[in-house]
């Protein structure tokens, strides 16, 4: 198979040779914090790219993303400007199609993703790994409460959201219940070990 992948039913399939790492986990687990620290530690390594999400919500300090209106998101989706997209919590999320070029160059693209797109990502890219960030329910509830983005029923819905994703489907599980440096360090060590020629390239 060529590194550019193939097209089936209008969809890109088997794109490589690089790797896509999906960071998933329940709300409040601390995925964004782990990502920020990992990006800081790997800033000098050009083979790692951290995708910036497009979300139909205004940017805030809790998450680094591009905020767009629902109509603008729909327009970009029609134009094929997203490699991956999903809906959650009444919002639309998209990953810009530019990540495909990094994968074609053999890089490792890391992104904060929904567990619902794992199958779609594995169909689009040849090498996909899933890292599950988790934390105890009471800690997640405290983090979400301090974020002050959701309240009452909305907060309960985030905490109780289920997707059918099983921990056994993950390539790595990190418990983010202690210092951020520990969780981020484990993630960075795993990413570096997975570089071409240094370990498993993922599934």
Q: Mean pLDDT in runs of 10 for the chain (203 residues)?
A: 67 94 91 94 96 87 81 97 94 97 97 94 97 89 69 49 65 93 97 69 39
**pLDDT, position 165:** 60
Tens-digit pLDDT profile for residues 119-156:
999 999 999 999 999 988 888 888 787 765 544 455 44
pLDDT of residue 45: 95
Task: Express each pLDDT in 84-93 by its tens digit.
Answer: 999 988 899 9
pLDDT at 181: 95
**Neighbour-count burial of 141, counting CB atoms closer than 10 A to its CB (0-12 exposed, 13-18 middle, 19+ buried):** middle
Total residues belonging to the chain:
203
Q: What does the pLDDT read at residue 120?
A: 96
Domains and CATH numbers, the chain: 6-50+103-193 (3.40.50.300)
- Whole-prediction pTM: 0.83
Q: Which pLDDT does position 63 carry in this prediction?
A: 64
Secondary structure (3-state) at 43: coil
Instruction: Report the alpha-carbon distance of residue 202 to residue 194 in Å, rounded.
Output: 8
Q: For position 72, what pLDDT does the model report?
A: 97
């Amino acid at each position: 198979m060529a590194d550019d992948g193939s097209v089936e039913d209008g969809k890109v399939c088997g794109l490589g040779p690089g790797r896509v790492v999906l960071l998933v986990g329940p709300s409040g687990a601390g995925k964004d914090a782990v990502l920020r620290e990992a990006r800081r530690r790997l800033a000098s390594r050009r083979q790692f790219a951290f995708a910036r999400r497009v979300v139909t919500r205004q940017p805030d300090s809790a998450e680094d993303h591009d905020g767009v209106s629902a109509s603008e998101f729909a327009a970009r989706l029609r134009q094929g400007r997203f490699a991956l997209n999903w809906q959650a919590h009444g919002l639309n999320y998209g990953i810009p199609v530019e990540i495909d070029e990094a994968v074609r160059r053999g890089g490792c693209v890391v992104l904060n993703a929904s567990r619902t797109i794992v199958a779609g990502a594995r169909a689009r890219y040849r090498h996909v790994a899933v890292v599950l960030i988790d934390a105890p329910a009471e800690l997640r509830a405290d983090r979400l409460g301090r974020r002050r983005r959701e309240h009452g029923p909305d907060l309960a819905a985030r905490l109780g959201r289920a997707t059918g994703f099983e921990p056994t489907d993950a390539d790595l599980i990190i418990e983010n219940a202690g210092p951020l440096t520990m969780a981020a360090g484990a993630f960075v060590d795993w990413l570096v070990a997975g570089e071409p020629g240094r370990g498993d390239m993922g599934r």
